[in-house]
Amino acid sequence: QQQVKQSPQSLIVQKGGISIINCAYENTAFDYFPWYQQFPGKGPALLIAIRPDVSEKKEGRFTISFNKSAKQFSLHIMDSQPGDSATYFCAASSPTTSGTYKYIFGTGTRLKVLA
């Protein structure tokens, strides 16, 4: 119930192609869904996020699609570039017993974009 399942584990895409990473969850208490991008040697950084009352959010080449009934959300990277090569984590925000919120992270997808 507290898991976020992420696939694929790794992805290789040609430059200019579309990268798609999928996540699924079970817990309907999850109410905010960010994506984080991590380059080697760095900590993860927020890329884009979506609330469950919205079905799609787009920021530049990055789009989140959200399907509330299926409890699935995905990240699409259009016109993928070698500079997008990184590890991507989906996450879901979960309320805690102390009244704050914590993120449950997926297992990560290592994306490599070939030049």
Beta carbon of residue 109, minimum distance to other proteins (angstroms, whole number): 10
CB-nearer residue toward other proteins: 58 or 102: 102
Binding to other proteins (CB under 8 A) within 3-62 occurs at: 6, 9, 31-32, 34, 36, 41-46, 49, 51
CB-nearer residue toward other proteins: 69 or 98: 98
Residues written for the chain: 115
Beta carbon of residue 15, minimum distance to other proteins (angstroms, whole number): 26
**Which residues of this chain interact with other proteins, rule CB under 8 A?**
2, 6, 9, 31-32, 34, 36, 41-46, 49, 51, 89, 93, 96-108
